[in-house]
Chains A and B, each alone.
Chain A
Amino acid sequence: MSDDAQTTAPAAGDGGSPPGGASCCHCTDARWLDTQAFCGDTVRLQASLSGACPDGPATVEILNGGTRIDTMNANLTGGSVAASWIAKAPTANWRTDRIRFRVRAAGLTCESSNELVFRQRPTTSWVLMNVVHASGNGYGPSHEKHDAQLEADRVHYSIKLKTHGPPFTAAKQTSAKTAIENAWNTGFGARKFHRTACGRGPACDCAFDCCKCGFRLDINFVTSGEHVDIEILPGPARSGMNGDSGHWGDPPLSAMSYPHEIGHMLGQADEYSSGATDPTGVQPNSAAGEPTLMGNKTPPLLNRHFRFVLAFLNAKAGGDTYETIPR
């Protein structure tokens, strides 16, 4: 058997028997043209075959280790196979996965000589956010004030609260912390911030955080270094808040009062007509209050309530933009 059919890399599959004659078809090169990409980017690959390689169909198999993670149809034309793949993280270890490919054409198998790796979002350390968002109806601004950090897989917010006035016991602090975190973290729900450049579009089914980013809010009660010092009022009483100060009725008038007030610290406006409404119109309002946490204090949170979280992500993501999905 002639050696002409051997691939340039150790063959993982058929080597094929060379036809009789002077120029047997053989692999000469197979490589990624793009070796780094964000998940969702379109990456190019090509394979070159030399000799008497008949034009015809080709199969491209994308490999993670020895596992085939995707298969594409292509064509061998003039000794060349070119294809594009929308990069998709195969595992939760996408940050260290090394992606190769294998081309089958003209009875041969050509394996890539290089690897594709996934680019990662930048991360940041904690920064203090202190942003004034104007309010309508003559109210002072909904003053966004909290710490924020872009982590590997999520935008992470932290708010530190201090109280004064009647004792706000450890049990009450825990109850308030749980209510607020549940409202905003569970309220974020199945949403993700998703790369707008992802070739899979807003319906992307990627299961990992490569092209997607989450959100988490943490609330903690402190004795110093607080973002806001809250006056506790014997309840039942109304609550009010922005990033400068606040007062909480204890107990509050509504089970969702505290999560609603924290919304103001996240820059959110009231969504009832007599409140501190949004002059930009992004947050609508109505007499009875929109059926949201910022309106009539029912649990739902909508994409608009996370628009400033998205803005933070887009400001820190190194020029790669994100949107909230589902839209």
Chain B
Amino acid sequence: MASFIAVAWCLVLLAVSSRVPDRAMTIDRVEYEVSELSEYPQRLTISNEGLRYESHSNERRPESLGLGLYERAVAPGEVESIEQQIAPTTLRSLPDHRGNVLAGDLVKRIRVTAGGETIEKLVGTKLPIDPALQRTIDVLDRLVADVEKHPRRVLRVTVQNATLSGTGEFAATVSFLGDGLSMTAVRGPRDRSDSPDDLVTLYWWPHVPGAPKSDVHAVPVVLQSVTSRPGALATFTVHSRLENTPTGHVTVQLRYLNMSPTVGTRTVEVGQLFSTPVVLP
């Protein structure tokens, strides 16, 4: 009888212990990467030192502020709250797309370092995502949106006075501005680059209200530095020629690309910066 009670008691203890959360795992660091620009993924880093977001592309959200560094301090108890939402012990067991992501696919990668262990999960865009893992991704995406409200050193672009003539001549004024507490710099057309890609590229497509973008054309532009408008890091005039534009409106968008972290002795933001699309008659 005593042995039976002892065994039963052991079974009860075992059942209880399996339901008690593992309190030994405390997050040291969370990294969340999204490979919008394959060579330089977007990276959110969470630690007790703060939340830091490095942006190298605004391709998916050209209306966002820009590329560069966003940063803020953690609020009291925030890391613990994030830990509860991410739940590393649960994360460890979630299925992901490891070994099945196509080279060049948009990859979302989560790395959680806790208790001396690093848990990594990654997903692409071609396979279904486990719902629990998607909830974790949603948490991190919300944190990114929040940190983006705190620019520390961010480059953004504005396009003004855009015109398109009846013969397809495009002209505009492009200004690069810095936001945040620190200075940033922009590569100019005369700065040396080893990239085969142009500093600024113009994209245009027929504007069809309500229809998805299609028949997109990329054309080179001619940049000319002009006196910067107040508050701008650099201002250029942009000229290009659009061939065979359809009757009706067209949408134009500019992309600034720099893949070199330094130009001479200057540190410059790396990445691709898209202007907000503009519809022109």
Contact = CB atoms under 8 A, between A and B. Distances in A.
B6 to A, nearest CB: 47
A253 B38 CA distance: 10
B7 interface: no
B103 A299 contact: no
A236 B203 CA distance: 8
Nearest to A248: B104
Interface residues of B, number: 44
B28 interface: no
A234 B105 contact: no
A139 B205 CA distance: 33
Contacts, number: 119
Interface stretch (B71-79, B143-151, B190-198, B228-236): B190-198
Contacts of B270: 288
Contacts of A234: 205, 212-216
A251 B106 contact: no
B102 interface: yes
A240 to B, nearest CB: 3
A117 B120 CA distance: 62
A274 B203 contact: no
B137 to A, nearest CB: 15
Contacts of A112: none
Contacts of A236: 59, 201, 203, 216, 218, 255
A307 interface: no
B110 to A, nearest CB: 11
A276 interface: yes
Contact of A140 (B36, B37, B99, B261): B99
A240 B217 contact: no
A275 B39 contact: yes
Contacts of A276: 101, 103-104
Interface in B6-61: 33, 35-41, 59
B218 A272 contact: no
Q: Mostly helix, strand, loop or mixed at chain A's interface?
A: loop
A251 B216 contact: yes
B142 interface: no
Interface residues of A, number: 41
B278 interface: no
Interface in A234-267: 234-242, 244-247, 250-251, 253-256, 261, 264
Contacts of A289: 39, 259
Contact of A274 (B41, B98, B213, B272): B41
Contact of A139 (B39, B59, B103, B255): B103
A28 interface: no
A319 interface: no
A256 B196 contact: yes
Contacts of A241: 102-104
Contacts of A246: 102, 104
Contacts of A272: 38-39
A138 B122 contact: yes
B201 to A, nearest CB: 8
B103 A275 contact: yes
B100 interface: yes
A298 B196 contact: yes
A166 interface: yes
A309 to B, nearest CB: 19
Nearest to A241: B104
Nearest to B253: A236
A256 B212 CA distance: 26
B100 A140 contact: yes
Identify the interface centre among A245, A253, A287, A288: most chain B CB within 10 Å of its CB.
A253
Interface in B83-119: 97-107, 109
A296 interface: yes
A239 B104 contact: yes
A41 interface: no
Given A272-B38, A274-B38, A275-B39, A251 B104 contact: no
Interface string B269-281: 0101000000000
Nearest to A240: B104
Contact of A138 (B99, B196, B212): B99
A276 B101 CA distance: 9
Contacts of B261: 288
Contact of A253 (B97, B101, B272): B272
A15 interface: no
A139 B101 contact: yes
Nearest to B270: A288
A144 interface: no
Given A236-B216, A239-B104, A274-B38, 7 more contacts: A138-B99, A139-B102, A236-B59, A254-B197, A261-B103, A296-B195, A297-B196
15 contacts: A138-B99, A138-B101, A139-B99, A234-B215, A236-B59, A236-B218, A245-B126, A251-B217, A253-B59, A254-B196, A261-B104, A264-B103, A276-B103, A296-B259, A298-B195
A-B pairs, top 4 by smallest CB distance, nearest first, are A240-B104, A276-B103, A251-B218, A272-B39
